[in-house]
Structure formats: structure tokens, C-alpha cells
């Protein structure tokens, strides 16, 4: 029987590539698996040979020790793969198909799935609505930073690419469909971005850059991206964004220099709970900084999209409130300005097919925008370290050497 290898979280600051069991069409016991999920039969699932799997900023929260993730959890929720085995109940997906895997695991049968709320499926995680691969408190589904991975409810979850050769040619763009491109786009959509909008995006990591690309696709007149990292700001400028360096202070003055007014129509939080202060507080953790700043700079009646991750358990939180996800928000500011905001997992299936078509028909180059950089499975620990140091790259793991050299 074939073996498997995967990238496992060991302890804060450390990941390793481990030998693991070959995947089965059954959810077995293991690190982080909810006991009620153990033994769950997956005749509706497939086993994928992983073509590409990406390192995500959300993975970094776990690797930094900022969640309750258990040791030896195999990581990875951004997955694109080739079907090598299918369950007896799979009807429409075939062995050999190359597919994108939404990071949300969804059954397609519950009330929320039927309403398109696939990020909060009611049937895949006994602990709470919503599940994901290789992620803490998300049901224990094994992660995809590996050679092989199991995907349940395959007919529902998988986005099949129409042409194998075309998919492999554009694989570095298409691998972004599992999470960051739909997630960034969702941030822009929920912020109300439309033709002519002025948009401010906090955070120039891969999700922030994907949100900027999404805002451009939606017709924004000006997209402003902020960060503390000049390398990441330069990456944002490389595809036409304006930038704000928040180490120089609150963003209002810099926004006014760009737009003539100190506010924008729409804003996106692509930072999340490990936010840092602005100006003199730059570099010091201040988890409510971004949300409070966005309420200040968003015009009355505007909206804030919040794809940035916030958690209910943070062992490294700066105080007791932050350790349970309680932040000091200026909700009165938001109320007085009638600002709406949207949080939570992106329902990937709401967007992934349309974004796939934009990629396949050359309307967008998301891999170039986020500086997609291919590494081998064995190089994953180094990729994690470089990403954590602020590298302006999106690391794409290529476990089987299937990414064409010309696309690398």
C-alpha cells in the first residue's frame, strides 16, 4: 500500500514533515479529531493526490502557538488535487479529474448548505457549525499539506476543472481558489465594493492582496492597501494599488493625501486577531487596532468586510480578555456612522466557479499579485519560517513535482 507524508504542527514555532498513514475513506482517530467524528464512513468522498497545497496565514496562527492546536496535527486547508480513488456513492467526479477543494467542508444537505452558507455547515463538525481541513477545532479532518488527502462529500465540495492541460498550465493561479482568492473577494463583496468605490484594505499579506485584486475586479476606482512591511506594500503597488505605511501613524492623513478626503467608501480587515498598533505603537500587539481604525476611516453608511481571522481561544493573547477573543471595540463609532460589518469564514462555493472562469479566460493573474512561490514538501518548514518573517510571497507546496517549470 502507498504511504503518505504530511506537514505536522509540533510545538510553537516548529513544524516537521512526518510519515503518515495513507488516506482512507473513513475518518480515523488522530490529533484534533472530534471523538464523535471517529469512524465516520466516507463513501461519498474521494482520495486526492495533492498537486498543490498552500501555506496560509491562518496556519501561521497555529504554528505560532496562538491557538489550542494539538501536537502532530497535519496542517493544510488550501488544496488542489487529482482524484486517485473515489467512494461508492460518488457519481459525478471521476478518477483522473483535477479539482479545487474549498477549505470549508460542507455536506450539501443541511439547511445552511442549502442556503449557500457552506462555511457554517451543520453536519461536519460535532462541536460547532463549520469545518476545515487541518485546522484546530474544525472537526479533525486531516490536512492537505501532504501527498494525499481525503475529501468528503466529493460531488458537492469539489470544483472540477474543465480541461486537465489548461488546469496544469494555470495551476499557480487556480490553487488560490481553495481559500485566499474567494476569501479576499468575499471581503471586498461584503464591504460593498462596486464600480467607482474607494477601498481601504488593512494587511498586505496574501489575503489582503487577494482582496485588492477582488476590489479591482469589482470595479473599484482606488484600492489602498496598508501594512507595516515595506516588501508587502511594494507587492501591492506592483499591480496598481496605492499604499499606506501604518508604522508612520494612523492612516487618515495618508488616505487624505491620496484621495483628498480622510475616509473611504469600503474597508477590509485582512489582518485579524494578531493586529499590531499604528505609529508609535507599531510592532506592539493591539488586537482591536485594525477594527477600530476601520470604523474611523469608513464613510458613514459604509461597510467593513472582515475575512481576517478572530478566535475564541488564544493562549498568547495580550490579556485575559484577548485570550478568549474579547476585544475592546468602539462599537459606538460604528453605530453612530451606521456602518455594517460581516465576519466569518468565506463560503468559498459562492465565488470559486466565477473566479475560476476569470482565471481561465485571463481576466486576472492572482498568482502574480500574491507572488506565488513554489516549494517542495520537504521545504515546507523553511517556507513557514520565511513567511512568518514577513516574506512578500505566497508559498505553494508541490508534493509530487507536478507544477510546470515554466509556471514556477
Distance CA 25, CA 166 (A): 29
The answer to whether residues 250 and 143 belong to one domain is no
The answer to whether residues 245 and 371 belong to one domain is no
- Do β-strands 40-41 and 26-27 pair in parallel, antiparallel, or remain unpaired? antiparallel
Our measurement of the distance from residue 191's CA atom to the centroid of its chain's CA atoms, rounded to an integer in Å, reads: 17
pLDDT on residue 117? 97
Whether the Cβ atoms of residue 73 and residue 23 lie closer than 8 Å to each other:
no
Q: Which among 342, 364, 385 is the end of a domain?
A: 342
Ordered per-residue pLDDT tens for the chain, 408 residues = 478 999 999 999 999 999 998 999 999 999 999 999 999 999 999 999 999 999 999 999 999 999 999 999 999 999 999 999 999 999 999 999 999 999 999 999 999 999 999 999 999 999 999 999 999 999 999 999 999 999 999 999 999 999 999 999 999 999 999 999 999 999 999 999 999 999 999 999 999 999 999 999 999 999 999 999 999 999 999 999 999 999 998 899 999 999 999 999 999 999 999 889 898 877 788 889 999 999 999 999 999 999 999 988 889 899 999 899 899 999 999 999 999 999 999 999 999 999 999 999 999 999 999 999 999 999 999 999 999 999 999 999 999 999 997 644
Distance CA 252, CA 215 (A): 20
Q: Which among 305, 322, 342 is the end of a domain?
A: 342
- Among candidates 271, 352, 261, which has minimal Cα distance to 304? 271
The answer to whether residues 168 and 185 belong to one domain is no
The answer to whether residues 223 and 365 belong to one domain is no
Domain that holds residue 294: 181-342
Task: Write out the E strands in 272-371.
Answer: 298-305, 340-342
- Among candidates 187, 276, 250, 176, which has minimal Cα distance to 223? 187
The answer to whether residues 159 and 254 belong to one domain is no
pLDDT on residue 406? 61
Q: Which among 313, 342, 371 is the end of a domain?
A: 342
CATH number at residue 362: 3.90.180.10
Phi then psi for residue 378, to 5 deg, are: -70, -20
The answer to whether residues 11 and 95 belong to one domain is yes
Distance CA 135, CA 73 (A): 8
- Among candidates 290, 247, 204, 352, which has minimal Cα distance to 212? 204
The answer to whether residues 21 and 159 belong to one domain is yes
The answer to whether residues 401 and 388 belong to one domain is yes
Give the chain's largest Cα–Cα span. Answer: 65
3-state SS, residue 75: coil
The answer to whether residues 209 and 61 belong to one domain is no
Mention every residue, 6+ apart, whose C-beta is less than 8 A from residue 136. Answer: 32, 62, 67, 68, 69, 70, 73
CATH number at residue 277: 3.40.50.720
Task: Give the predicted TM-score (pTM) of the model.
Answer: 0.95
Distances, alpha carbon 193 to alpha carbons 19, 197, 216, 305, 355, in Å: 45, 6, 9, 10, 16
pLDDT on residue 59? 94
The answer to whether residues 185 and 121 belong to one domain is no
Distance CA 267, CA 339 (A): 10
Amino acid at each position: 500500500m502507498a504511504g503518505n507524508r504530511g506537514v505536522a504542527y509540533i510545538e510553537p514555532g516548529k513544524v516537521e514533515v512526518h510519515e503518515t498513514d495513507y488516506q482512507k475513506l473513513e475518518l480515523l482517530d488522530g490529533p484534533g479529531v472530534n471523538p464523535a467524528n471517529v469512524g465516520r464512513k466516507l463513501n461519498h468522498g474521494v482520495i486526492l493526490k495533492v498537486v498543490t497545497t498552500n501555506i496560509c496565514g491562518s496556519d501561521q496562527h497555529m504554528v505560532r502557538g496562538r491557538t489550542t492546536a494539538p501536537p502532530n496535527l497535519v496542517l493544510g486547508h488550501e488544496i488542489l488535487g487529482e482524484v486517485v480513488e473515489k467512494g461508492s456513492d460518488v457519481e459525478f467526479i471521476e478518477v483522473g479529474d483535477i479539482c479545487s477543494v474549498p477549505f470549508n467542508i460542507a455536506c450539501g444537505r443541511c439547511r445552511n448548505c442549502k442556503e449557500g452558507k457552506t462555511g457554517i455547515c451543520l453536519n461536519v463538525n460535532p462541536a460547532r457549525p463549520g469545518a476545515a481541513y487541518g485546522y484546530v477545532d474544525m472537526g479533525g479532518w486531516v490536512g492537505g499539506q501532504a501527498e494525499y488527502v481525503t475529501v468528503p462529500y466529493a460531488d458537492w465540495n469539489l470544483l472540477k476543472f474543465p480541461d486537465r492541460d489548461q488546469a496544469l498550465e494555470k495551476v499557480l493561479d487556480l490553487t488560490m481558489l481553495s481559500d485566499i482568492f474567494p476569501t479576499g473577494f468575499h471581503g471586498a463583496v461584503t464591504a460593498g465594493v462596486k464600480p467607482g468605490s474607494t477601498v481601504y484594505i488593512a494587511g498586505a499579506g496574501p489575503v489582503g492582496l487577494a482582496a485588492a485584486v477582488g476590489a479591482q475586479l469589482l470595479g473599484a476606482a482606488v484600492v489602498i492597501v496598508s501594512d507595516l512591511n515595506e516588501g508587502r506594500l511594494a507587492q501591492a503597488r506592483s499591480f496598481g494599488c496605492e499604499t499606506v505605511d501604518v508604522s508612520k501613524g494612523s492612516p487618515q492623513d495618508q488616505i487624505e493625501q491620496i484621495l483628498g478626503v480622510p475616509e473611504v467608501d469600503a474597508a477590509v480587515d485582512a489582518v485579524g486577531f494578531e493586529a499590531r498598533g499604528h505609529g508609535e505603537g507599531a510592532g506592539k500587539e493591539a488586537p482591536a487596532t485594525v477594527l477600530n481604525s476601520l470604523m474611523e476611516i469608513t464613510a458613514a453608511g459604509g461597510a467593513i468586510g472582515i475575512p481576517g481571522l478572530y478566535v475564541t481561544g488564544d493562549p498568547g493573547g495580550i490579556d485575559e480578555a484577548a485570550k478568549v477573543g474579547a476585544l475592546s471595540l468602539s462599537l459606538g463609532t460604528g453605530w453612530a456612522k451606521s456602518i455594517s460589518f460581516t465576519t466569518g469564514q468565506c463560503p468559498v462555493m459562492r465565488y470559486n466557479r466565477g473566479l475560476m472562469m476569470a482565471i481561465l479566460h485571463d481576466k486576472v493573474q492572482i498568482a502574480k499579485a500574491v507572488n506565488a512561490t513554489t516549494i517542495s514538501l520537504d521545504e515546507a518548514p523553511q517556507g513557514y519560517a520565511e513567511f512568518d518573517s514577513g516574506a512578500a510571497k505566497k508559498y505553494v507546496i508541490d508534493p509530487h513535482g507536478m507544477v510546470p517549470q515554466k509556471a514556477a
